[in-house]
Structure 1
């Protein structure tokens, strides 16, 4: 394998590891609660501690990469993340685990914020860059679903500690390879500039892509949360079954983003592919908005997951390409950090919005005398309808704000 391809594999493997770590512990939370004595309210900090530092430090990490060099920031972040994973795995009480999760999120932010900028520098040729961004987009699009599957498997076959220990061999090998394969770069940004230069938002493609990202992730991250509840509370699947129930989504994402996305973008243009992909996801969510309490996975959930994965797998590479389109090399780090930050904002908005809507509708139906399964399903249908609306709005914004360009213009940073 050529050195450049190996470098891309290292960057994408680390990106995938960091993304899935936001969800890998979700299925393990009951086991963690039993072992360390968390209360229901404090248990949320096992997830939130990671997400807070991860989302909060992405922009700073991206700008730091522009100033002192992206390889330095990437290696430092990977080292911190791997060490924090070890500490999380050996944590003996609640306080230790939460503190180490904060540290893990900080390392994840440092490592992942500069990856997209490094890929655009690694692949200056338009079509080669489009393929590379397709691989990277797969890690971003499928990471959360893979995390759910991995978390369920590791927790059931081993124990919750291994949801953290699994990062150790990956992180150690990636660190060694990254030192050898990634070219050293000098910082090109100016230390007198603000954290987020206003010129970034004067690029229509960047401003539009980040707006679309917030709406898209708001609908899709909330969908994962709601679907996990639907599968367990209504369809009565266990933790492992719930994790594997999501498998069709990352598989279809992989097929689309790794095999077809570059060809589609080259032939039809990024905006067309993006709008079509978002429309397919909205259609899949609208289908889920019709689920019934006595439904079944094969008929009511599986088709939507396959369609959603195909649409998301097509949309994500096109959107990532737009997010870096026209960005000067000196701003590549902050542009990369910005698109990752908007993902976290969208995830927070979507989870809060959809969870509140589902709970409110469920409570209303219970007051009206509905049985619990029907009331829960009614709440989930409301959340799915809102998700479909968010994705439809994302498709509309993409059609209006993003201009159709030739492939060469769309993906050149």
Structure 2
């Protein structure tokens, strides 16, 4: 029977499996790699972006938050779009948008242009990433072949962060910070060209788009984040600060009301009815909030205070990715024997210890004692939690809702990261103002004429004075991060109640993990 006859005999709308599944998997994995490494590859370039486009330290957080807020807010809507419109079509649309946004980000000449590009990148990632995972089920038959494909997808998700650290350092140091965006363009174009040839279209399903839910949740969280960041610069009594928090309350309340009445909500509120699942969402939200803030400010510390080059900064973070992988492997192996709670408790406790250790950072701290040690402790704790939280989130969920449950956990990670970074920025902003007021008289007495002229131009203390201000702000900010980890620990202790009889179900529902 010829290929044309096979296609003719298929039911209308049915998926057609390609003849080269290896190429199809490479295309899908390349998409996931591009989306996953985007966070770390950009983080390494942040100090150079700040200098080139004249971001303040507080406004620089939007380079991270603009992406993660949009990605997290639209993630579930992107998955729904693939089911309704066809996964390959939506996948290609997401890649095209992500690629175009990357080009615009690399060409940005003003801060607002880069932030707009980051929003578009988040939209493209939210459309492409969940569809890429779903395309594995369309392309590969159930059984060993599909399991191997999931394994490759998980490996790319886990290794993307490390690849981003190294590539971000090399591109920034050897070429320019703009290449952390430009590098996505040729990759995206290759994916767009190969996808229609080697990836089959999926069967479409009827359904509705919860546009109102996606819009109110995303804009509401953006207003909340903006309120915290604005407060860091202008104070809590500023009219825009107050207005942002007020808008956030109104929009997030409207989101809850919309979701409770929608026939096909983007966020099924019944997912929160189970205490274990709700607990995992709170733990992920809290730990991601601490983690995003930690990486953001430690990147600034190692490059601005320790004087590391971008490549050295990338290498400095690599040990953390190793211990995260070790913790994840350990929890995955022993989860069926001990259950999730011991890993959640131990992982959250280690996160508290690591972040508390980082509150002691000063301008004279070394890499080994002030950065590497606490990051290893924190990273191992995060590794213990990643697989555990994913498995617990989908435990006891009907098969057709497993994607929504795990997708919601991923959204919590992205949104929690944005919210946590904004809270740390508020604490950081207040702390550096206080420390700068203490350092300024000393600087005015001892600083050179050239340094004073530079200060008059930039309003930033140079040299040792500036390092002390930055380090003090970071150490105080980590107090807030440690408090977030304490919330995760308390939730694991008081809320999680998984019985021994649930362990077989837990072991059987573990998927490829979270991105």
Between the aligned partners of 1:215 and 1:253, the Cα distance in structure 2 is 17
**SS at the partner of 1:301?**
helix
Tell me which residue corresponds to 1:58.
75
Tell me which residue corresponds to 1:408.
504
Contact 1:289 1:385 in 2 (8 A): yes
Between the aligned partners of 1:395 and 1:358, the Cα distance in structure 2 is 23
Q: Does 1:206 align with 2:277?
A: yes
Between the aligned partners of 1:319 and 1:7, the Cα distance in structure 2 is 29
Bigger Cα displacement from structure 2, 153-162 vs 82-91 = 82-91
Tell me which residue corresponds to 2:202.
184
Larger Rg: 2
Bigger Cα displacement from structure 2, 323-332 vs 179-188 = 179-188
Tell me which residue corresponds to 1:398.
492
Tell me which residue corresponds to 2:482.
388
Tell me which residue corresponds to 1:230.
301
Tell me which residue corresponds to 1:139.
157
Q: Which has the higher contact order (CA 8 A, sep 6+)?
A: 1
Tell me which residue corresponds to 2:259.
none
- Correspondent of 1:109 among 99, 109, 126: 126
Between the aligned partners of 2:152 and 2:333, the Cα distance in structure 1 is 10
How many Å apart are 1:385 and its aligned residue? 2.8
- Correspondent of 1:362 among 432, 448, 456: 432
- Correspondent of 1:286 among 346, 356, 361: 356
Residue by residue, what CA displacement relative to the aligned partner does 1:128-158 show, whole Å, maximum 9, x if unpaired?
Answer: 9899589739836x75565344322101112
Between the aligned partners of 2:86 and 2:30, the Cα distance in structure 1 is 20
Contact 1:62 1:110 in 2 (8 A): yes
Gaps of 5+ in 1: none
- Correspondent of 2:335 among 265, 281, 287: 265
How many Å apart are 1:75 and its aligned residue? 4.0
Q: Trace 1:299-378 onto structure 2 (pairs within 5 A).
A: 299-368=369-438, 372-378=466-472
1:271–1:318 CA distance, 2 compared to 1 (3 A)? same
1:92–1:349 CA distance, 2 compared to 1 (3 A)? closer
Residue by residue, what CA displacement relative to the aligned partner does 1:212-235 show, whole Å, maximum 9, x if unpaired?
Answer: 111011111111122123223432
1:161–1:366 CA distance, 2 compared to 1 (3 A)? closer
Between the aligned partners of 1:235 and 1:8, the Cα distance in structure 2 is 41
Residue by residue, what CA displacement relative to the aligned partner does 1:346-378 show, whole Å, maximum 9, x if unpaired?
Answer: 112211121222332333344445855444433
How many Å apart are 1:249 and its aligned residue? 0.8
Between the aligned partners of 2:364 and 2:408, the Cα distance in structure 1 is 43
Between the aligned partners of 1:288 and 1:228, the Cα distance in structure 2 is 13
1:188–1:329 CA distance, 2 compared to 1 (3 A)? farther
Tell me which residue corresponds to 1:77.
94
Between the aligned partners of 1:256 and 1:177, the Cα distance in structure 2 is 35
Bigger Cα displacement from structure 2, 348-357 vs 75-84 = 75-84
1:202–1:72 CA distance, 2 compared to 1 (3 A)? farther
Aligned-pair Cα RMSD in Å: 3.9
Tell me which residue corresponds to 2:176.
159
